[in-house]
Structure formats: structure tokens, C-alpha cells
């Protein structure tokens, strides 16, 4: 059932991301063009207004950036265009802004993974990084993606205070861990989480290459 919810949620995210990017983004751009025209109109007759139009233009520019950021959060475009490595580095960059410690991401640029696997790895990394940032009290978070000939491994490790992962799996408290398991299951990935009070937390997802693939 969770998988159905995930699919619906992803479809909805994509729809909202497009709407934000295409429609709202265009309205804001159109308003910017009108301001350009207004500035040309009034620059001789009322030069004091020109400064005001620049102020409004700056506010509009801020809104355009915010729409871009939001639409990216909802639907990580670079995954399709630039690939998983770039997408994960962007993600780490965004999470770094809300993490006072050291957050590093090591990922190769080019990876030959099916789109469904890339998306699942990306969505799991989002949840794992969120958890490490919000709950671990860590000073260091490392995300490492390794692509070998036989297997691809994604690891998110933090040096925080850890938690009883087994108990949490039996009795989930939030949505993050069940979501990670469902993403993994849906894309044929192995999901493991190793943690205990007082220990590092390691989330590891592996994808074995099918023989002959």
C-alpha cells in the first residue's frame, strides 16, 4: 500500500513542480518584462520611479529563485538530465545549509543505473540525510556512492548518538524509515540500517547488477 501512496505522491509532486515552474514562473517573468517596459516609459518623465521599479524587480527575482528552488525540491530535475551523482551533490549542498557540522558527499559523475533505481536511491538519501540532520546530533555526516562492476552502494553515515534501529523498525514512529524501505523494495534494492544508542548510524542501500547485465 505504501508503494501506491509513494507513486501517487511522486506523480503529484511532478505535477505541482511543473505548475510552479511553468505557470507561476512565467507569470513572474511576464511581470518582470512589464516592469522593464515601464522603466523605459518613465525614465525621462519621472526618473524617481526608475529606482522603485528596480526594487520591485529584485523582489520578483527573489520569487523566481524561490519558485525554482521549490520546484527542484519537489522533482529533482538534474536526476534526468545530469544524473544521480550531480543530484546527490545538490541535495547534500541544500541539507548543508541546515547542518552546522561537516556534511560531505562523494559520488561519481557518470553512473549507468536505470531511472527507477536512481530515483529510489535519491529519495532514500533525502530521508536518510533529513534524519541525520534532524535527529542524530552528529558533527559529521558522510554520503558515499560507490559504483562497482558488480554492485552499487549508497551509504549515509553520521557520527551522532545513534538509536535502537531494530526497535524502530518493529514499531515505526515516523514515515521516513518505512518510506526508505518501500523505495528500496520497489526498485529491487537491499536496505540496511545499522545503529544503536551511542554508535554511528549507517544507512546502506545496495543494488546488485543482474548476471549478464
Ligand X SMILES: Nc1ncnc2c1ncn2[C@@H]1O[C@H](COP(=O)(O)OP(=O)(O)OP(=O)(O)O)[C@@H](O)[C@H]1O
Q: Which stretches of the chain bind ligand X, using CB under 6 A? A: 127, 131-132, 135-136, 158, 160, 162-163, 168, 172-177, 201
Sign for the CA dihedral angle at 16, 97, 145, 173 comes to negative
Instruction: With H, G, I as helix, E, B as strand and everything else as coil, classify residue 120.
Output: helix
**142: three-class secondary structure by DSSP:** strand
We find the least distance from the C-beta atom of residue 177 to Mg ion, in angstroms, to be 7
Q: Which residue is nearest to Mg ion (CB)?
A: 176
Nearer CB in complex with ligand X: 127/152 = 127
d(CA 156, CA 99): 15
Quote the CA–CA distance of 122 and 65 in Å, as a whole number: 23
Complex with ligand X: residue 136 or 152, whichever CB lies closer: 136
Binds 27, which of Mg ion, ligand X, none (CB < 5 to 8 A, cut-off by type)? none
Residue closer to ligand X (CB basis): 118 or 131:
131
Nearest CA to 86 out of 55, 125, 47 is that of 125
* Contact characters 156-175, Mg ion, x per CB under 5 A: ------------------x-
Own/partner pairs for 174-181, CB < 8 Å, 24+ apart? 176/127, 176/128, 176/130, 176/131, 177/127, 177/131, 178/2, 179/2, 179/6, 179/123, 179/127, 180/123, 180/124, 180/127, 180/128
* Shortest Cβ 163–ligand X spacing (Å): 4
Size of the site for Mg ion (CB under 5 A): 3
Closest to Mg ion by CB, 118 vs 131, is 131
| Residue 201 interacts with, from ligand X, Mg ion, none (CB under 5-8 Å by kind) | ligand X
- From ligand X, Mg ion, none, which one binds at residue 126 (CB under 5 to 8 Å depending on kind)? none
Q: How far is the CB of 175 from ligand X (least distance, A)?
A: 4
Q: Of 118, 131, 159, 182, which lies in the binding site for Mg ion, with binding defined by CB under 5 A? A: 131
* Binding-site partner at residue 85 among Mg ion, ligand X, none, CB < 5 to 8 Å by type: none
CA gap 123, 177 in Å, rounded: 11
Q: Which of 76, 176, 184, 193 forms a contact with Mg ion (CB under 5 A)?
A: 176
Element spanning 56, H or E: helix 47-74
Stretch (H or E) spanning 152: strand 151-158
Cβ closer to ligand X: 88 or 132? 132
- Number of helices (H) and strands (E), helices first, in the chain? 8, 5
> Which residues make up the interface to Mg ion (CB under 5 A)?
131, 174, 176
Amino acid at each position: 500500500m505504501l508503494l501506491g501512496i509513494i507513486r501517487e505522491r511522486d506523480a503529484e509532486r511532478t505535477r505541482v513542480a511543473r505548475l510552479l515552474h511553468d505557470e507561476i514562473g512565467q507569470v513572474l517573468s511576464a511581470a518582470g518584462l512589464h516592469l522593464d517596459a515601464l522603466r523605459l516609459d518613465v525614465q525621462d518623465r519621472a526618473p524617481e520611479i526608475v529606482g522603485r521599479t528596480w526594487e520591485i524587480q529584485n523582489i520578483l527575482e527573489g520569487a523566481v529563485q524561490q519558485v525554482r528552488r521549490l520546484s527542484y525540491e519537489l522533482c529533482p530535475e538534474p536526476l534526468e538530465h545530469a544524473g544521480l551523482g550531480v543530484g546527490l551533490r545538490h541535495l547534500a549542498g541544500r541539507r548543508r545549509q541546515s547542518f552546522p557540522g561537516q556534511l560531505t558527499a562523494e559520488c561519481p559523475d557518470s553512473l549507468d543505473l536505470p531511472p527507477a533505481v536512481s530515483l529510489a536511491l535519491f529519495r532514500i538519501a533525502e530521508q536518510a540525510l533529513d534524519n541525520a540532520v534532524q535527529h542524530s546530533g552528529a558533527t559529521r555526516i558522510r554520503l558515499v556512492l560507490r559504483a562497482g562492476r558488480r554492485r552499487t552502494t549508497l551509504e549515509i553515515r553520521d557520527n551522532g548518538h545513534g538509536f535502537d534501529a531494530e526497535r524502530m523498525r518493529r514499531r515505526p514512529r515516523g514515515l521516513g524509515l518505512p518510506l526508505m524501505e518501500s523505495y528500496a523494495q520497489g526498485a529491487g534494492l537491499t536496505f540496511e540500517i545499522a545503529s544503536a544508542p551511542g554508535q554511528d548510524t549507517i544507512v546502506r542501500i545496495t543494488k546488485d547488477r543482474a548476471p549478464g547485465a
